[in-house]
Structure 1
Amino acid sequence: MQTTSQIKLCLAETRDAEDVARLVAASFAQYTPLIGKPPAPVLYDYAALVATGRVWLAVAGEELRGMIYSYAQEDGAVMLDVLAVSEAARGQGLAKRLVGQVENGARAEGARLVRVYTNAVMAGPQVLYPRLGYKETHRGESDGYMRIHYEKRL
């Protein structure tokens, strides 16, 4: 078993887009029956997201273990949009490390706030984000999904 210190973080490259899409689909597959349709991140165009230069990967050797995607918002905040960790890497602190990467990048960009939302049926993120200092701001439907919104001041 790899420890998170043996997993390197790097920016995704064009050639990584298909692997990222597969990781996201596998990571979110458990939620499709609960939601009644694929979670929104499964439907994203990962080639386009990778091209933004804002997709970070967690790699152990040649194996993709996790990914995170964020983007700058018009008000100066950063939105953490997708976080996925492989089944093999869960419970090792990798999600925390990936979120930290986004937070450090947000600080470097001058952002003072990171936002994130999760589907209301996803129990794991509802534990993770508050543990990392994110405060729930509201709940509601958007884009056909029931979501819980969080933010963290940096």
Structure 2
Amino acid sequence: MAFAGDQYVDETGFAVSGHDVVAYFDLEPAPVGSAQPAAVAGDKNITAEYNGAMFAFSTEANKETFLQDPEKFVPKFDGHCAYGVSKGGKVPGNPNLWRIVDGELYLNITEAVVGFWEEDIPGNISLADGNWDGIEAKPASDRTIPNYTSSAPLN
């Protein structure tokens, strides 16, 4: 199995700030231009390692679902901001600024960036996909997610 680059891991020590990546796919997405529902916090006692990072889950069932096909659930661009990747860099992805497009989970860094991202989602995905090969091997961002407050603490 070929792994992606380094996952973005923030101060929580977990990928996606400890949020359950499987649970995103059960949330009702908001229309473009509206805030998405808050991400579901994982439990620090229900975890799995993938691609060198620890992922937390809200239920054992979600953990088992993840383990069956991790690549289906991990955020694109190793949890980095999709718009940032479209511009050629790696910056943190905020787990509460998410969108699922064609079965892929994308994160962005700030609400302002979400606005730019949503102006042309397909075009930004295309740019990011084109840039990813050139930056994927670079180290993960070590920056803090700006203005980020977790939707819920890890249990």
**TM-score, length-normalised on structure 2?**
0.27
Higher helix proportion (structure 1 or 2)? 1
**TM-score, length-normalised on structure 1?**
0.27
Higher strand proportion (structure 1 or 2)? 1
Q: Name the structure, 1 or 2, with higher relative contact order (CA <8 Å, separation 6+).
A: 2
